[in-house]
């Protein structure tokens, strides 16, 4: 059952990701990207990361993609025109990319020959009993507010800077 | 028939998504699509983080994913504001036309 679920949603993610790259119109790419993020949320659930799955749907598929679609609408972006590319890109681009992917896959297989098996609900932390969920909001929140308190606080400064930057960039010139 | 999913499948899926993100980043000419490819790469890395979190029975990977999401949200806000400004000044979305830093 887990394998079937993984295969279905991995296939959806890969097909949508290919669609993001090959579509010429930005709005088609954006909608395909929503598909990738939705299927990744299901895979996070399979890995026992409930909180991250919810955050993925809300933050990525919700907030960020709405921002993208909004900007595409605002700029009235049309389909991309194909232009002549250099010979190197035409003939070497895809083979080099497949080589890079093969290298990555090879190292993954080399480094994890023991193959930890992923089962739904099988994610347990070191000090917890089996059956207890480790990826829920409680565990994540506890770690966030104890071990990772300083990064969390620094993040608030980052968001403040992002807000100010976005306002400064997007406002009309005053003079 | 396998009863559970090997961890390397998740990592390979992450590698595939990352490669597609790199392809989009390098091959596309529309600045918005290039930006979306960056988001795709960030998502692939997030999947790796959560998978390694499962492998090591640690919750730390989830926290890193959380921080990546926050950074991605901040980056999307600022990046799209920059795209708006570029479009306002130059009336183009093609990255080949925005090359005043060249030479």
- The C-alpha angle A15, A95, B38, rounded to 5 degrees, equals 50
- A18-77 residues touching B, CB cutoff 8 A: 18, 20-21, 26, 29-30, 33, 36-37, 40, 43-44, 46-49, 51-52, 55-56, 59-60, 63-64, 67-68, 71-72, 74-75, 77
pLDDT at B77 over 80: yes
pLDDT tens digits, one per residue of A72-127: 998 887 777 766 667 777 778 788 888 888 888 888 888 876 667 777 777 777 66
Q: Which residues of A touch B74 (CB under 8 A)?
A: 158-159, 161-162
| B10 lies in some domain | no
**Contact yes or no for A101 and B19 at CB 8 A:** yes
pLDDT at A174 over 60: no
Q: Which residues of A touch B60 (CB under 8 A)?
A: 143, 147
Task: Write out the two tokens for A62.
Answer: 């919700």
Chosen from B3, B13, B38 to mutate, greatest number of chain A CBs within 10 A? B13
Q: Which CATH architecture has domain A2-121?
A: Up-down Bundle (1.20)
Domain that holds residue B57: 29-95
Residue A71 in contact with residue B32, Cβ under 8 Å?
A: yes
CATH number for B51: 1.10.287.3510
> Nearest CA to CA, how far is A32 from chain B (Å)?
10
> Nearest CA to CA, how far is B103 from chain A (Å)?
19
- Name the residue among B7, B77, B93 with its Cβ closest to that of A118: B7
Lowest mean pLDDT: which of A56-70, A98-112, B67-81?
A98-112
- Name the residue among A100, A125, A170 with its Cβ closest to that of B81: A170
- Residue B79 and residue B69: Cα distance in Å, rounded? 15
Q: Hey, how many other C-beta atoms are within 10 angstroms of the C-beta on A40?
A: 30
pLDDT tens digits, one per residue of A114-135: 667 777 777 777 666 665 677 7
User: What value does the mean pLDDT take over residues A141-164?
Assistant: 92
Q: Hey, how many other C-beta atoms are within 10 angstroms of the C-beta on A147?
A: 13
Chosen from B14, B22, B32, B99 to mutate, greatest number of chain A CBs within 10 A? B32
Number of structural domains (chain B) is 1
- Residue B52 and residue B10: Cα distance in Å, rounded? 10
């Amino acid at each position: 059952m887990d394998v079937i679920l993984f295969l279905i949603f991995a296939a959806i993610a890969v097909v949508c990701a290919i669609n993001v790259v090959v579509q010429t119109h930005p709005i088609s790419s954006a909608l395909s990207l929503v598909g990738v993020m939705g299927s990744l949320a299901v895979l996070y659930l399979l890995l026992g990361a409930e909180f991250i799955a919810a955050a993925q749907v809300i933050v990525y598929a919700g907030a960020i993609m709405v921002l993208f679609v909004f900007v595409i609408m605002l700029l009235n972006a049309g389909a991309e025109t194909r232009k002549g590319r250099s010979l190197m890109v035409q003939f070497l681009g895809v083979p080099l990319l497949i080589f890079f992917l093969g290298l990555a896959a090879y190292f993954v297989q080399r480094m994890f020959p023991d193959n930890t098996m992923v089962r739904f609900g099988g994610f347990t932390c070191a000090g917890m009993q089996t059956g207890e969920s480790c990826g829920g909001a409680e565990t994540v929140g506890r770690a966030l507010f104890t071990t990772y308190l300083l990064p969390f606080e620094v993040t608030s400064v980052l968001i403040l800077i992002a807000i100010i930057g976005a306002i400064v960039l997007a406002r009309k010139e005053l003079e | 028939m396998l009863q559970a999913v090997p961890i390397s499948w998740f990592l390979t899926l992450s590698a595939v998504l990352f490669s597609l993100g790199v392809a989009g980043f390098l091959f596309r000419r529309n600045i918005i699509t290039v930006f979306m490819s960056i988001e795709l790469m960030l998502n692939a890395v997030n999947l790796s983080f959560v998978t390694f979190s499962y492998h090591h029975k640690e919750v730390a990977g989830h926290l890193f994913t959380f921080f990546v999401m926050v950074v991605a949200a901040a980056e999307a806000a600022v990046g799209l504001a920059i795209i708006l400004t570029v479009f306002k000044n130059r009336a183009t979305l093609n990255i080949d036309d925005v090359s005043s830093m060249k030479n």
